[in-house]
Amino acid sequence: MRKTRFAIAAIAATAALTLTACGGDAGEGEGEDTVRIGIKFDQPGLGFKDGDTYKGFDVDVAKYVANELGFTEEQIEFVSAPSANRETMLQNNQVDMIFATYSITDTRKEVIDFAGPYFVAGQDLLISVDSDITSPEDLDGKNLCSVTGSTSAQKVKDTYAAGVNLQELPGYAECTTQMSGGTIDAVTTDDIILAGLAAQPAYQGKFKVLGEPFSEENYGVGLPKGSDRCEAINAAITKMIESGEWETALKANTEGTGYEPNAELNPPTPAACA
């Protein structure tokens, strides 16, 4: 009986050592069922849910980074991450990371961590291709649209065109619909968001990004405070840039808009992790 017990114990110990040895070479994502990534579901060209498909530049960067961390595409669970909820979602462990036009700011860094940046955007204007607007100063007396709660349109009024007429609507889709109908002269937000709107089939050849950005927004990967993934994510972003896949993804999601990112700022160099 004692021999039987010893034999069983020996077999169990051998099995445990075998499992440990097999697991020693596992990538970061191996052994984890899924990675939950927050993105926008309603931002064409960046993060957009189309049925069961997710599209956009943020989505492409997220997939590349996840793969470098050891997760297959099937292991990614995309989660809607509205702007107002992003910090809360990270703090409450609702997502593991966020790629959602998430500007790196000192205020946000007090409660969450960031990897990146993986893109540097700038506030710009979306106008019709035959518009006479050449700068934000030309908006005096014209109708400018942005989404409710955004500070973008007010910034134009305060800094560039005191006589502009501001129109706030629930989403950028409503802004572009009204501009297509002629009641809005321009839409303002980050340039890459505008490029995504202009790339929609209904607006190709009708709208363009002005191409004169007047701010700087560093898009980072939002992480829970104290996350140990920052350096691995930065390495993945750097690899994507150096391989040319970053540029391929950007062009694929802004094609036909005339949009060119600021070459002095893009592609960016990820900052050192805190």
Which residues on neighbouring strands pair with residue 128, listed in sequence order?
207
pLDDT for the residue 149: 66
Which architecture, in CATH terms, is 123-209?
3-Layer(aba) Sandwich (3.40)
Does the bond joining 267 to the residue before it have cis omega, within 30 degrees of 0?
Answer: yes
List where CATH 3.40.190.10 sits in the chain: 35-121+217-254, 123-209
What is the C-alpha to C-alpha distance for residues 21 and 264, in angstroms, rounded to an integer? 47
The predicted pLDDT at position 147 comes to 85
Helix (H) or strand (E) holding 48: strand 47-50
Tell me the residue type at 128. Answer: S
Give the model's pLDDT for residue 30. Answer: 56
pTM: predicted TM-score of the whole model, two decimal places: 0.80
Q: What residue type is 117 in one-letter code?
A: P
Distances (CA, A) of 134 to 35, 127, 186, 210: 44, 9, 11, 7
Hey, how many other C-beta atoms are within 10 angstroms of the C-beta on 274? 9
pLDDT number for residue 29: 59
- Taking the C-alpha atoms of residue 173 and residue 179, their distance in angstroms, rounded to an integer, is 10
Q: What is the pLDDT along the chain (274 residues), one digit of tens a residue?
A: 433 333 434 434 444 433 333 333 334 555 579 999 999 998 999 999 999 999 999 999 999 999 999 999 999 999 999 888 999 999 999 999 999 999 999 999 999 999 999 999 999 999 999 999 999 999 999 999 998 767 789 899 999 999 999 999 988 889 999 999 999 999 999 999 999 999 988 998 999 999 989 989 999 999 999 999 999 999 999 999 999 999 999 999 998 777 889 999 999 999 999 8
Task: Domain 35-121+217-254: give its CATH architecture.
Answer: 3-Layer(aba) Sandwich (3.40)
CA pair distance 229, 244, nearest whole angstrom:
23
pLDDT value of residue 7: 42
